[in-house]
Amino acid sequence: MAEQEEVTVTLSLQEGYQFLVDFHQPGVPPLVVDEPEPLGAEAGPNAARLLGAAIANCLSASALFCLRKARITVYGMSTSADVSFARDERGHLRLGGITVHIHPEVAEDDVGRMHRCVDLFEDYCAVTQSVRSGLNVSVEVEPVPVLADGATPAS
The secondary structure of residue 35, as a DSSP letter, is P
Q: What is the pLDDT of residue 83?
A: 95
Q: Is the pLDDT of residue 143 over 80?
A: no
- Residues 18/40, Cβ–Cβ less than 8 Å: yes
**Closest alpha carbon to 39 in 68, 16, 58:** 16
Q: What is the pLDDT of residue 39?
A: 95
Q: What is the pLDDT of residue 15?
A: 97
Q: What is the pLDDT of residue 74?
A: 96
Q: What is the pLDDT of residue 155?
A: 56
Residues 111-131, mean pLDDT to the nearest whole number: 92
- The SS3 of residue 114 is helix
**pLDDT band for position 153 (50/70/90)?**
confident
Give, in order, the Cα–Cα distances in Å from 43 to each of 21, 39, 48, 74. Answer: 13, 12, 14, 34
36-86: pLDDT as tens digits: 999 999 999 999 999 999 999 999 999 999 999 999 999 999 999 999 999
Q: What is the pLDDT of residue 138?
A: 82
Residue 15 CB: number of other CB atoms within 10 A?
Answer: 10
* Assigned architecture for domain 46-135: 2-Layer Sandwich (3.30)
Enter the pTM of the model. Answer: 0.87
Q: Name which residue leads in pLDDT, 135 or 84.
A: 84
